[in-house]
Amino acid sequence: MTEPPVPESPIPQERDAAAHGGKGGAGADGARRNGGGAAGRAARSTASAVLIVLTCILVPVALLATWVHDIALDTDRYVATVEPLATDPAVQDAAVHRITEAVGAQVNGPQVAGDIASWLQSQGLPPRAADALSRLGPQIDSAVDQAVTKIATRVVDSDAFATVWTTANRAAHNAVVHALTGEGRGAVGVSDGTVTLDVGTAVDRVKTQLVDAGLKPAAKIPQVNKQLVLFQSDELAKFRKAARLLDIVGNWFPVIVVLLGVAGVLLAHRRRRALARTALGAAFACLVVAVALVVARHYYLDHLPPQVQSKAAASAVFDTLLRFLRVSLRTAVVLGVVIALGAYFVGPGRLPVAVRGTSDRTADSAARWAAAHHVTTGRAGAWALAYRRAATLGVLLIIALVFALWNHPTVLTVLLLVLVLLAVLAVLALLAASGRAQLDAARRTAPGTPRAGT
C-alpha cells in the first residue's frame, strides 16, 4: 500500500516566507543578544575607565588625608615630627633673636646710665663726670645685648630648651587642631592665619641667669608673652572645611581608593594593562603633587609676611611639617612604577617572554648541575613544581599585606619588599626546576620507558 500524498500548501510563497521568517526571527534574536553583549562590554569598559581615572586622582588626596589625620591632628605624631626643630640651627637662631629682643626691650640703657649718673652726682660726683657717664647709654645697651645674646644662646643650646620646646608644642597642638578644624585651644596662638609659639618661659630662664650674672636691672623685666611665628598663611582659614572632611574620612579614605582601583581593574577587558595604567596614572598624579609642593614652598618663602623674621626658620618648619607627606608621595611614585613593571613582565611581550625564558633556563641548568652532584630538593621540589603558580600568588598577597600594615612605608620599604619578592620567586623557580629534573630522572629509570632513538 502506498501512503496518500501530503497535500502541499495552496500558496507556495507563504510556505517559503514562513520558513524564511523563522530563520529571520532567530537571526533577530541573535542580533539582540550580540547587541546586548556589546552594550554590556561598553558599559564595563566605561565604568572601568571612570574608576581608574578616579583612583589616579584620589591617590594623592588619600595621602593628604592620611597626613592630616596622622600628623596634624595626632598629638604624639605631631610632637615627634616637630621635636627635631629644637636642635635646628635656623630655629635656634630665631629663638635667640626673639628672646634677646624681648629682654633687651625691658632694659633701657640710656635710662640706666642716667639713673646711675644722677645717683653718683647726688653722692658728690662732679656734674661734668656725671654728664659723661649719662652718655654711656648706647654702650650699656650694647653690653646688655651681648650679655643677653650669650646667655640666650646658652639657654637655647641646652637640653632645657629642648624640653621647653617639646612641652610647648605638645600643649600647642590643640591650637593647631583649632587652626585646621576650628576646635580646641592651646599655648600656640592662631590669629589671621598666623600660628605663633609663646617663648615667655625661655625669657624667664634668661632673666634669671642675667640676675645671677650680676645684671640687677634685669630683675625688673616683667612677665613677657613673646611670640615666635611658626607658620603664616592667609589661606589657613579656607583649609578648615577640607581638614574637617579629611579628619572624618581619616584612615578609611586610602582603603576606599584602593577598592575603587581594584574594581576598575576587575571590570577592565584587559586587566593586566588596566593594572599597569592605574599604577602609572597614580604615580604620575603623586609626582604632579610633589612638584606642586616644591613650587608652593618657593612661593611661600619668597612671599613671607613681616611677622616671619627668619626665612631659614620658616623653611625648616615648612620642610619638617611636610616631611611625611613628601615621603609618602615619593613612596607612591616608586610603588606605582614597580607595580607597572611587574604587570609588564608577566605579559606576553618579547622582552618579558625572553626574561622569563632566560630565568627558567638558568634554573634548569642549576637543577641539572645539582642533580649531577646528587643534590636534590625531594618533596619540596615536587611541591613547587605542582603548586608554583598558587605559591607565587600567595607570596604576592603576603607582600601586599605586609606593605599595607607597614607603619608609614618609605621608598626603602618598597625596594626591600621587592627584593624579598624577587628572592622568594627565585627560590620557587629553583625548586620547580629541581622538581622537573627529578621527574625526568624518574621517567628515564622507570621500567618499560622507551629510550631515546628507539
| C-alpha to C-alpha distance for 103 and 283, rounded to whole angstroms | 51
Q: Which amino acid is at 90?
A: A
Task: Give me the pLDDT at residue 415, please.
Answer: 94
Task: Give me the pLDDT at residue 423, please.
Answer: 93
| C-alpha to C-alpha distance for 285 and 257, rounded to whole angstroms | 14
Q: What is the pLDDT of residues 135-160, one digit of tens each?
A: 555 555 566 567 667 777 877 787 77
* Rounded-to-10 torsion of CA 341, 347, 348, 350: 10
DSSP string over 75-102: HHHHHHHHGGGGG-HHHHHHHHHHHHHH
Share the mean pLDDT of the chain.
75
3-state secondary structure of 308: coil
Residues 6 or more apart whose Cβ sits within 8 Å of residue 179: 190, 195, 236, 240
Task: Give me the pLDDT at residue 185, please.
Answer: 47
* Rounded-to-10 torsion of CA 368, 370, 374, 379: -90
- Measured in whole angstroms, the distance separating CA 201 from the mean position of its chain's CA atoms is 35
Q: What is the pLDDT of residues 311-334, one digit of tens each?
A: 888 888 888 888 889 999 999 999
Task: Give me the pLDDT at residue 103, please.
Answer: 62
DSSP secondary-structure letter at 70?
I
| C-alpha to C-alpha distance for 342 and 76, rounded to whole angstroms | 37
Closest CA to 218 of 227, 231, 209: 209
Task: Give me the pLDDT at residue 149, please.
Answer: 75
| C-alpha to C-alpha distance for 447 and 172, rounded to whole angstroms | 84
Side-chain half-sphere of 116: how many Cα atoms within 13 Å?
Answer: 16
The grid cell for 32 is 539582540
| C-alpha to C-alpha distance for 207 and 200, rounded to whole angstroms | 10
3-state secondary structure of 227: strand
- pLDDT less than 70: residues of the chain: 1-36, 102-145, 147-148, 172, 174-244, 246-247, 250-251, 306-309, 446-454
pTM given for the model = 0.68
Q: What is the pLDDT of residues 197-224, one digit of tens each?
A: 555 555 666 666 656 655 555 555 555 4
